[in-house]
Structure 1
Amino acid sequence: MSSGQVVVVMGVAGTGKTTVGRLLAAALHLPYAEGDAFHPPANIRKMAAGVPLDDADRLPWLDAVGDWARRTGDRGGVVAASALKRAYRDRLRAAAPGAVFVHLTGDRELIRRRMTAREGHFMPPSLLDSQFAALEPLRPDEAGVTVDVTGTPEEITARAVTALAALGTGGRPGGG
Protein backbone atom coordinates (compact mmCIF):
# COMPACT_ATOMS: atom_id res chain seq x y z
CA MET A 1 0.00 0.00 0.00
CA SER A 2 1.33 3.37 -0.92
CA SER A 3 1.05 6.48 1.21
CA GLY A 4 -1.73 8.77 0.16
CA GLN A 5 -3.97 5.89 -0.80
CA VAL A 6 -7.66 5.82 0.07
CA VAL A 7 -8.97 2.54 1.47
CA VAL A 8 -12.72 1.94 1.24
CA VAL A 9 -13.97 -0.67 3.72
CA MET A 10 -17.01 -2.08 1.94
CA GLY A 11 -19.65 -4.75 2.39
CA VAL A 12 -23.23 -5.32 3.41
CA ALA A 13 -24.63 -3.84 6.61
CA GLY A 14 -23.47 -5.63 9.74
CA THR A 15 -20.08 -6.81 8.48
CA GLY A 16 -18.24 -4.44 10.80
CA LYS A 17 -17.21 -1.71 8.35
CA THR A 18 -17.14 0.98 11.03
CA THR A 19 -15.29 -1.07 13.64
CA VAL A 20 -12.76 -2.53 11.21
CA GLY A 21 -12.45 0.79 9.37
CA ARG A 22 -11.46 2.62 12.55
CA LEU A 23 -8.99 -0.11 13.54
CA LEU A 24 -7.55 -0.22 10.02
CA ALA A 25 -7.12 3.56 9.93
CA ALA A 26 -5.27 3.40 13.26
CA ALA A 27 -3.06 0.53 12.05
CA LEU A 28 -2.22 2.39 8.82
CA HIS A 29 -1.86 5.77 10.56
CA LEU A 30 -4.49 7.31 8.29
CA PRO A 31 -7.52 9.52 8.99
CA TYR A 32 -10.89 7.76 9.18
CA ALA A 33 -14.29 8.83 7.86
CA GLU A 34 -17.62 7.16 8.61
CA GLY A 35 -19.56 6.71 5.39
CA ASP A 36 -22.92 6.83 7.17
CA ALA A 37 -22.16 10.44 8.14
CA PHE A 38 -22.31 11.39 4.44
CA HIS A 39 -25.91 10.19 4.00
CA PRO A 40 -28.50 12.94 3.63
CA PRO A 41 -31.16 12.86 6.39
CA ALA A 42 -33.75 11.54 3.91
CA ASN A 43 -31.64 8.42 3.32
CA ILE A 44 -31.31 7.78 7.06
CA ARG A 45 -35.08 8.17 7.53
CA LYS A 46 -35.77 5.84 4.62
CA MET A 47 -33.46 3.10 5.90
CA ALA A 48 -34.68 3.49 9.48
CA ALA A 49 -38.21 2.92 8.16
CA GLY A 50 -37.04 -0.36 6.61
CA VAL A 51 -37.04 0.90 3.02
CA PRO A 52 -33.96 0.01 0.95
CA LEU A 53 -32.16 2.82 -0.85
CA ASP A 54 -32.20 2.84 -4.63
CA ASP A 55 -29.50 4.08 -6.98
CA ALA A 56 -30.96 7.60 -7.07
CA ASP A 57 -30.80 7.74 -3.26
CA ARG A 58 -27.20 6.57 -3.23
CA LEU A 59 -25.75 8.92 -5.85
CA PRO A 60 -25.51 12.08 -3.66
CA TRP A 61 -24.09 9.93 -0.85
CA LEU A 62 -21.50 8.34 -3.14
CA ASP A 63 -20.53 11.77 -4.43
CA ALA A 64 -20.06 13.03 -0.86
CA VAL A 65 -17.91 10.00 0.04
CA GLY A 66 -15.96 10.44 -3.19
CA ASP A 67 -15.44 14.13 -2.45
CA TRP A 68 -14.00 13.25 0.96
CA ALA A 69 -11.73 10.64 -0.66
CA ARG A 70 -10.54 13.16 -3.25
CA ARG A 71 -9.90 15.82 -0.61
CA THR A 72 -7.67 13.51 1.43
CA GLY A 73 -5.02 14.33 -1.15
CA ASP A 74 -1.56 12.97 -0.51
CA ARG A 75 -2.27 11.93 3.07
CA GLY A 76 -4.78 9.17 2.16
CA GLY A 77 -7.47 7.83 4.43
CA VAL A 78 -9.87 5.05 5.31
CA VAL A 79 -13.62 5.35 4.80
CA ALA A 80 -16.37 2.84 5.60
CA ALA A 81 -18.93 2.75 2.79
CA SER A 82 -21.04 -0.17 1.59
CA ALA A 83 -20.06 0.33 -2.11
CA LEU A 84 -22.19 -2.70 -2.92
CA LYS A 85 -22.22 -2.39 -6.71
CA ARG A 86 -19.39 -2.14 -9.21
CA ALA A 87 -20.93 1.09 -10.55
CA TYR A 88 -20.74 2.60 -7.04
CA ARG A 89 -17.09 1.62 -6.71
CA ASP A 90 -16.39 3.02 -10.19
CA ARG A 91 -17.95 6.31 -9.08
CA LEU A 92 -15.71 6.38 -6.00
CA ARG A 93 -12.66 5.52 -8.11
CA ALA A 94 -13.52 8.38 -10.47
CA ALA A 95 -13.20 10.74 -7.50
CA ALA A 96 -10.17 8.97 -5.99
CA PRO A 97 -8.46 6.98 -8.77
CA GLY A 98 -6.05 5.17 -6.44
CA ALA A 99 -8.76 3.88 -4.11
CA VAL A 100 -8.41 0.32 -2.87
CA PHE A 101 -11.34 -1.68 -1.50
CA VAL A 102 -11.43 -4.01 1.50
CA HIS A 103 -14.55 -6.14 1.00
CA LEU A 104 -15.71 -7.56 4.32
CA THR A 105 -17.62 -10.79 3.74
CA GLY A 106 -19.26 -13.39 5.91
CA ASP A 107 -22.00 -15.87 6.45
CA ARG A 108 -25.45 -14.29 6.15
CA GLU A 109 -26.63 -15.71 9.50
CA LEU A 110 -23.52 -14.46 11.33
CA ILE A 111 -24.09 -10.98 9.90
CA ARG A 112 -27.81 -11.10 10.76
CA ARG A 113 -26.96 -12.04 14.37
CA ARG A 114 -24.52 -9.14 14.58
CA MET A 115 -27.08 -6.71 13.17
CA THR A 116 -29.72 -7.92 15.61
CA ALA A 117 -27.35 -7.52 18.57
CA ARG A 118 -26.16 -4.00 17.78
CA GLU A 119 -27.87 -1.06 19.41
CA GLY A 120 -28.54 2.47 18.25
CA HIS A 121 -28.03 1.92 14.52
CA PHE A 122 -30.61 3.15 12.01
CA MET A 123 -30.27 0.13 9.68
CA PRO A 124 -32.72 -2.62 10.67
CA PRO A 125 -31.85 -6.30 10.13
CA SER A 126 -34.87 -6.51 7.81
CA LEU A 127 -32.81 -4.71 5.13
CA LEU A 128 -30.03 -7.31 5.10
CA ASP A 129 -31.63 -9.34 2.30
CA SER A 130 -31.82 -6.23 0.10
CA GLN A 131 -28.14 -5.57 0.81
CA PHE A 132 -27.17 -9.08 -0.31
CA ALA A 133 -29.43 -8.75 -3.37
CA ALA A 134 -27.62 -5.55 -4.41
CA LEU A 135 -24.11 -6.84 -3.64
CA GLU A 136 -21.72 -7.29 -6.54
CA PRO A 137 -18.52 -8.70 -5.01
CA LEU A 138 -15.16 -7.28 -6.02
CA ARG A 139 -14.04 -8.51 -9.41
CA PRO A 140 -10.48 -9.59 -10.20
CA ASP A 141 -9.84 -6.40 -12.19
CA GLU A 142 -10.73 -4.18 -9.20
CA ALA A 143 -8.04 -2.99 -6.81
CA GLY A 144 -8.93 -4.60 -3.52
CA VAL A 145 -9.02 -7.55 -1.20
CA THR A 146 -11.72 -9.73 0.33
CA VAL A 147 -11.56 -10.37 4.06
CA ASP A 148 -13.73 -12.81 6.01
CA VAL A 149 -15.43 -11.35 9.10
CA THR A 150 -15.22 -14.33 11.39
CA GLY A 151 -13.21 -13.68 14.54
CA THR A 152 -12.60 -10.57 16.57
CA PRO A 153 -12.39 -7.09 15.05
CA GLU A 154 -8.66 -7.15 15.75
CA GLU A 155 -8.24 -10.45 13.88
CA ILE A 156 -10.27 -9.18 10.94
CA THR A 157 -8.21 -5.98 10.85
CA ALA A 158 -4.95 -7.94 10.97
CA ARG A 159 -6.12 -10.01 7.98
CA ALA A 160 -6.99 -6.80 6.13
CA VAL A 161 -3.58 -5.25 6.84
CA THR A 162 -1.83 -8.41 5.62
CA ALA A 163 -3.98 -8.62 2.49
CA LEU A 164 -3.42 -4.94 1.68
CA ALA A 165 0.33 -5.35 2.11
CA ALA A 166 0.25 -8.22 -0.37
CA LEU A 167 -1.32 -5.95 -2.99
CA GLY A 168 1.89 -4.01 -3.53
CA THR A 169 1.91 -0.50 -4.94
CA GLY A 170 -0.33 -1.19 -7.93
CA GLY A 171 -3.37 -2.13 -5.89
CA ARG A 172 -3.47 -5.64 -7.30
CA PRO A 173 -1.79 -8.86 -6.19
CA GLY A 174 1.88 -8.72 -7.08
CA GLY A 175 1.90 -4.95 -7.38
CA GLY A 176 0.66 -4.89 -10.99
Structure 2
Amino acid sequence: MAVLPIRITGEPVLHSIAEPVVDVDATLRTLVEDMFETMEQAPGVGLAAPQVGIGLRLFVYNWVDDDEVLWRGVAINPELWLSPIPAGEPDEDADSEGCLSIPGARYALRRADRVRLRATDLDKKVFEIEAEGWLARIFQHEYDHLDGTLYADRLDHAQSKAVAKVVRKSGWGIPGESWMPGEDDLES
Protein backbone atom coordinates (compact mmCIF):
# COMPACT_ATOMS: atom_id res chain seq x y z
CA MET A 1 0.00 0.00 0.00
CA ALA A 2 1.07 3.57 -0.62
CA VAL A 3 0.11 7.06 0.43
CA LEU A 4 -0.88 9.10 -2.62
CA PRO A 5 -0.55 12.86 -3.16
CA ILE A 6 -3.85 14.70 -2.67
CA ARG A 7 -4.71 17.13 -5.46
CA ILE A 8 -5.52 20.71 -4.50
CA THR A 9 -8.29 22.84 -6.00
CA GLY A 10 -7.40 23.98 -9.50
CA GLU A 11 -6.38 20.52 -10.64
CA PRO A 12 -8.66 19.72 -13.64
CA VAL A 13 -9.63 16.23 -12.36
CA LEU A 14 -11.23 17.89 -9.31
CA HIS A 15 -13.44 20.06 -11.49
CA SER A 16 -14.56 17.39 -13.98
CA ILE A 17 -17.22 14.68 -13.91
CA ALA A 18 -15.59 11.34 -13.10
CA GLU A 19 -16.04 8.32 -15.38
CA PRO A 20 -17.84 5.16 -14.23
CA VAL A 21 -15.73 2.28 -12.97
CA VAL A 22 -15.87 -0.51 -15.56
CA ASP A 23 -13.65 -3.23 -14.08
CA VAL A 24 -13.20 -4.22 -10.47
CA ASP A 25 -9.75 -5.73 -10.89
CA ALA A 26 -6.42 -5.91 -9.06
CA THR A 27 -5.51 -2.38 -10.15
CA LEU A 28 -8.74 -0.98 -8.69
CA ARG A 29 -8.29 -2.97 -5.47
CA THR A 30 -4.80 -1.51 -5.07
CA LEU A 31 -6.15 1.99 -5.70
CA VAL A 32 -8.79 1.49 -3.00
CA GLU A 33 -6.18 0.22 -0.50
CA ASP A 34 -3.97 3.22 -1.30
CA MET A 35 -6.93 5.59 -0.92
CA PHE A 36 -7.72 4.19 2.54
CA GLU A 37 -4.08 4.60 3.59
CA THR A 38 -3.98 8.14 2.17
CA MET A 39 -7.25 9.12 3.87
CA GLU A 40 -6.07 7.78 7.23
CA GLN A 41 -2.67 9.47 6.96
CA ALA A 42 -4.22 12.84 5.99
CA PRO A 43 -6.34 12.37 8.27
CA GLY A 44 -9.80 12.45 6.77
CA VAL A 45 -13.15 10.68 6.96
CA GLY A 46 -13.64 10.32 3.21
CA LEU A 47 -11.63 10.47 0.02
CA ALA A 48 -12.78 10.41 -3.60
CA ALA A 49 -10.69 9.06 -6.47
CA PRO A 50 -10.47 12.49 -8.19
CA GLN A 51 -8.73 13.81 -5.07
CA VAL A 52 -5.81 11.47 -5.79
CA GLY A 53 -5.84 12.33 -9.49
CA ILE A 54 -7.98 9.44 -10.73
CA GLY A 55 -11.15 10.45 -12.61
CA LEU A 56 -13.24 7.43 -11.56
CA ARG A 57 -16.58 7.31 -9.75
CA LEU A 58 -15.55 5.85 -6.42
CA PHE A 59 -14.87 7.01 -2.90
CA VAL A 60 -13.83 5.54 0.43
CA TYR A 61 -15.06 6.49 3.89
CA ASN A 62 -14.08 5.71 7.46
CA TRP A 63 -15.93 7.25 10.40
CA VAL A 64 -17.00 6.18 13.90
CA ASP A 65 -20.38 7.54 15.01
CA ASP A 66 -21.47 8.60 18.50
CA ASP A 67 -22.60 5.03 19.24
CA GLU A 68 -19.07 3.74 18.45
CA VAL A 69 -20.29 2.13 15.20
CA LEU A 70 -17.59 2.02 12.53
CA TRP A 71 -18.72 3.08 9.05
CA ARG A 72 -15.96 2.01 6.69
CA GLY A 73 -16.25 1.11 3.05
CA VAL A 74 -15.86 1.85 -0.60
CA ALA A 75 -18.62 3.13 -2.86
CA ILE A 76 -18.13 2.28 -6.54
CA ASN A 77 -20.37 3.99 -9.11
CA PRO A 78 -22.56 5.41 -6.33
CA GLU A 79 -26.02 6.90 -6.61
CA LEU A 80 -27.22 9.31 -3.92
CA TRP A 81 -30.71 10.45 -2.96
CA LEU A 82 -31.08 13.42 -0.61
CA SER A 83 -33.79 14.61 1.74
CA PRO A 84 -34.60 18.31 1.25
CA ILE A 85 -31.87 20.62 2.50
CA PRO A 86 -33.18 22.56 5.51
CA ALA A 87 -33.75 26.26 5.00
CA GLY A 88 -31.84 28.85 6.96
CA GLU A 89 -28.29 29.78 7.69
CA PRO A 90 -25.74 27.05 8.42
CA ASP A 91 -24.60 26.64 12.02
CA GLU A 92 -20.92 27.62 12.29
CA ASP A 93 -20.14 24.60 14.48
CA ALA A 94 -22.57 21.83 13.52
CA ASP A 95 -22.34 22.53 9.77
CA SER A 96 -18.59 23.21 9.59
CA GLU A 97 -16.95 21.24 6.81
CA GLY A 98 -13.44 20.90 5.43
CA CYS A 99 -11.87 19.27 2.40
CA LEU A 100 -8.53 17.60 1.86
CA SER A 101 -8.36 19.36 -1.53
CA ILE A 102 -8.61 22.78 0.15
CA PRO A 103 -6.39 22.00 3.15
CA GLY A 104 -6.73 24.04 6.30
CA ALA A 105 -10.01 25.76 5.38
CA ARG A 106 -13.31 25.03 7.17
CA TYR A 107 -16.63 26.70 6.41
CA ALA A 108 -20.24 26.11 7.37
CA LEU A 109 -22.44 24.54 4.69
CA ARG A 110 -26.03 23.33 4.89
CA ARG A 111 -26.44 19.74 3.70
CA ALA A 112 -29.37 17.33 3.58
CA ASP A 113 -30.01 15.68 6.96
CA ARG A 114 -30.64 12.25 5.42
CA VAL A 115 -29.45 10.42 2.32
CA ARG A 116 -29.66 7.01 0.71
CA LEU A 117 -26.45 5.76 -0.88
CA ARG A 118 -26.56 2.90 -3.38
CA ALA A 119 -23.23 1.63 -4.70
CA THR A 120 -21.18 -1.43 -5.51
CA ASP A 121 -18.45 -2.81 -3.26
CA LEU A 122 -15.18 -4.53 -4.22
CA ASP A 123 -17.00 -7.89 -4.35
CA LYS A 124 -19.27 -6.39 -7.06
CA LYS A 125 -22.25 -6.53 -4.69
CA VAL A 126 -24.76 -3.70 -4.70
CA PHE A 127 -25.49 -2.24 -1.25
CA GLU A 128 -27.60 0.56 0.18
CA ILE A 129 -27.05 2.66 3.28
CA GLU A 130 -29.58 5.06 4.75
CA ALA A 131 -27.52 7.68 6.54
CA GLU A 132 -28.21 10.76 8.57
CA GLY A 133 -26.17 13.40 10.31
CA TRP A 134 -22.42 13.39 9.82
CA LEU A 135 -22.38 10.19 7.74
CA ALA A 136 -24.92 11.76 5.38
CA ARG A 137 -22.64 14.80 5.13
CA ILE A 138 -19.62 12.59 4.31
CA PHE A 139 -21.54 10.83 1.53
CA GLN A 140 -22.73 14.13 0.04
CA HIS A 141 -19.26 15.66 0.18
CA GLU A 142 -17.54 12.69 -1.48
CA TYR A 143 -20.31 12.24 -4.04
CA ASP A 144 -19.91 15.89 -5.03
CA HIS A 145 -16.25 15.20 -5.85
CA LEU A 146 -17.40 12.65 -8.44
CA ASP A 147 -19.40 15.38 -10.18
CA GLY A 148 -16.50 17.86 -10.17
CA THR A 149 -17.95 19.91 -7.31
CA LEU A 150 -15.96 20.99 -4.26
CA TYR A 151 -17.79 21.99 -1.10
CA ALA A 152 -16.50 25.53 -1.63
CA ASP A 153 -18.57 25.66 -4.83
CA ARG A 154 -21.71 25.35 -2.68
CA LEU A 155 -20.91 28.08 -0.14
CA ASP A 156 -22.80 31.36 0.07
CA HIS A 157 -21.26 34.45 -1.51
CA ALA A 158 -19.48 35.76 1.61
CA GLN A 159 -17.90 32.41 2.44
CA SER A 160 -16.99 31.68 -1.18
CA LYS A 161 -15.10 34.99 -1.22
CA ALA A 162 -13.23 33.89 1.92
CA VAL A 163 -12.29 30.57 0.29
CA ALA A 164 -11.16 32.37 -2.87
CA LYS A 165 -8.87 34.52 -0.72
CA VAL A 166 -7.37 31.42 0.97
CA VAL A 167 -6.84 29.78 -2.43
CA ARG A 168 -5.23 32.90 -3.86
CA LYS A 169 -2.95 33.49 -0.83
CA SER A 170 -1.86 29.84 -0.90
CA GLY A 171 -1.00 29.96 -4.60
CA TRP A 172 -3.59 27.30 -5.42
CA GLY A 173 -6.28 27.30 -8.08
CA ILE A 174 -3.91 26.20 -10.83
CA PRO A 175 -3.14 22.73 -12.22
CA GLY A 176 -0.34 20.70 -10.68
CA GLU A 177 -0.77 21.52 -6.99
CA SER A 178 -0.91 18.67 -4.46
CA TRP A 179 0.21 17.78 -0.97
CA MET A 180 1.52 14.57 0.55
CA PRO A 181 -0.13 13.34 3.76
CA GLY A 182 2.47 12.54 6.39
CA GLU A 183 5.08 14.75 4.72
CA ASP A 184 3.57 18.18 4.08
CA ASP A 185 2.43 20.35 6.95
CA LEU A 186 -1.15 20.88 5.74
CA GLU A 187 -4.43 20.05 7.47
CA SER A 188 -8.03 19.86 6.36
**Length-normalised TM-score, structure 1:** 0.29
Pick the structure with more strand per residue. Answer: 2
Whichever of the two has the greater Rg, that structure is 2
TM-score for both structures, normalised by structure 2: 0.28
